[in-house]
Chain A
Amino acid sequence: MTAISADHLSKSFGRTRALVDVSFQVPGGSIVALLGRNGAGKTTTIRILTTLLRADAGSARVAGCDVREDPDGVRRRIGVTGQTTTMDSLLSGRQNLEIVGRFCHLSPAASRRRAAELLRQVGLENASDRLVRTYSGGMRRRLDLAASLIAEPEVLFFDEPTTGLDPISRAEMWGSIRALAGRGTTILLTTQYLDEADQLAHRVVVLNEGLVVADGTPEKLKASIGWQRIRVTLSHLDPAELNRATELLGPRAEVVGRFLHLPAPDGLRSLRETVDRLAVAGIEVHEVALEHPTLDEVFSAVTTDQTPDAGMVTRGAML
């Protein structure tokens, strides 16, 4: 069953085209990541799907309800955790959740029960009666998550759930998202981080300048970019030594500034081979690193020509 389907969504703000004919589907119970840089159209997409914004053209269905025809139906079935905190800083965590429960049309008793349950679940029970004003960024994000879970939604939206979080809070948020998906909740999240999409999502939709430039599993996405890369930094900034190392490592090695880049088709094994060869030749090495493709490389890979067997559905190029 399809939990979210976006069909040919377009949206402009004045002369800025935020979304251009965006289509994708999220199967029920799966996690899909919208991956893109700032301004790629991720938040606009989420705002349209969560009934905060109307698309200029195209349609979308969420949990069986049309976002334009039946926004209340959508709102009854979704939970949203935004980029910015949406909790009232002048109320306590508990008051915030209870009021959200009442606005979701739970009874007063059920709102109180759900609020207490969720405060425990997100680890805020000791702070539940403090004003949200006194919460840290991570605590606010957890309270926001709790608020979006009050009415046990079928579909959850996370807009950059880990942006600005410290590494521990980030790992906790990932854990929560996985646990929710494990219980059958459909999740659409946006992220700027390739590794986040890789860690969490069953499928990745890559947005660039309002266009869907790729749509597939993380494995396919990575395969389309090629493998990891080795970056070598020599101990001595000596051009002769750099040339010698380049010749030694074969035709695919190239000098980029102070570094030497070469592909690592076999990952760690390639890394070890490289280190060994340099050691045997007596070239002193300051650092050798295995690098993952960056988001920029994903974009340049998916926005330039693709071989059909790369397995990625690629539509449209840069305008």
Chain B
Amino acid sequence: MTSVAAVQGRRFGWLLIDSYNAARRYVLRGMRQPDVIVGSILFPVMFVVLFGYVFGSSISIPGGNYRSYLMPGLFVMSALFTSNMAAVAVATEMQEGVIDRLRTLPMARSAVVLGQSVAWLVLWLPALLVMIACALLVGWHPTTSPGSVVAGFLLIELFSYAVSWIGILVGLTARGIQAADVISALPPFLLGFISNVFVDPARMPAWLRDIANWNPVSSLVGAVRNLFGNGIGPPPAGVWSLAHPIATTVGICGLLLVVLTPVCIRIYARTAR
């Protein structure tokens, strides 16, 4: 007789193996779409040029170099856009017959969405590496220890993983690929621009400044700037999330994962075309 624990253990083992294989499949798929990868690389490079030079020439940052101030924010922008790519990929797959095949196989159902989320961690890496290269080219350099730089990038990875689930949710629920694309492009723009990514919120009108200060993206960018040594002085008083940026980021990511993972798995398991 097998005990309940043994059966559950075996199930969990298969879940890991199925998720690994699903992720591998999505990475293979992703690599067969070089246009998507190139797009994901060009987009942030365009941001470096636009904001680093076009707008950046007219933006001044008290006591600092604007491009060094900007780059940590652009790393985060690039992470935000993984949700957009994940949404399009999931919506595309939901339209194809492949999903029917997967549903009739004895694999763990949750492995399909888990695999998607893990695949985006991998597929996003080329974009991140190109961003780092660009950043070094335009004069950005961390001034802290290698340990804190690594911690900064790990924090961005965690955030990228968490927001890819927003994309998966949109991809699973949107009616069609275009809808998924448009809907999932909104949060990165709103969260990215109404924040401290491009400018210091101190000069924004009061109502907008509060939104920008409490925006979790601002916390992450603040945390990363501190870890890279690209900060410009102390955070504004009275904003808890900016005073404790790492805790806020980890908390928000944890919350997103705890809520979105089971929701997405459920929706995937239930959706019938």
Question: A interface vs B, CB < 8 Å?
Answer: 47, 50-53, 72, 75-76, 78, 80, 82, 84-91, 95, 99-100, 102-105, 131, 147, 151
Please, which residues of chain B bring their CB within 8 A of the CB of A151?
A: 106
Are B106's CB and A147's CB within 8 A? no
Please, which residues of chain B bring their CB within 8 A of the CB of A87?
A: 97-98, 101
A82 in contact with B25 given A75-B106, A104-B105 (CB within 8 Å): no
B175 contacts partner chain A, Cβ-Cβ < 8 Å: no
Are A103's CB and B32's CB within 8 A? no
| Min CB–CB distance A315 → chain B (angstroms) | 28
Please, which residues of chain A bring their CB within 8 A of the CB of B272?
A: 47, 52-53
How many residues in B have their beta carbons less than 8 Å from beta carbons of A? Answer: 23
Are B107's CB and A103's CB within 8 A? yes
A99 in contact with B97 given A51-B104, A52-B104, A78-B104 (CB within 8 Å): no
Are A103's CB and B18's CB within 8 A? yes
Specify which of B18, B32, B104 lies most central, judged by the most chain A CB atoms within 10 Å of its CB: B104
Are A88's CB and B98's CB within 8 A? yes
Please, which residues of chain B bring their CB within 8 A of the CB of A85?
A: 97
| Min CB–CB distance B108 → chain A (angstroms) | 9
B58 contacts partner chain A, Cβ-Cβ < 8 Å: no
B122 contacts partner chain A, Cβ-Cβ < 8 Å: no
**Cα separation A47 to B102 with both chains bound (whole Å):** 13
28 contacts between A and B (CB under 8 A): A47-B272, A51-B103, A52-B100, A52-B104, A82-B100, A86-B98, A87-B97, A87-B101, A88-B96, A88-B98, A90-B28, A90-B33, A91-B28, A91-B32, A95-B28, A100-B101, A102-B17, A102-B21, A103-B18, A103-B22, A103-B102, A103-B105, A103-B106, A104-B107, A105-B14, A105-B17, A131-B32, A147-B101
Give the residues from 1 to 59 in chain B that come closer than 8 angstroms, CB to CB, to chain A.
14, 17-18, 21-22, 24-25, 28-29, 32-33
Are A50's CB and B104's CB within 8 A? yes
Please, which residues of chain A bring their CB within 8 A of the CB of B25?
A: 88, 91, 99
Please, which residues of chain B bring their CB within 8 A of the CB of A84?
A: 97, 100
Please, which residues of chain A bring their CB within 8 A of the CB of B105?
A: 75, 100, 103-104
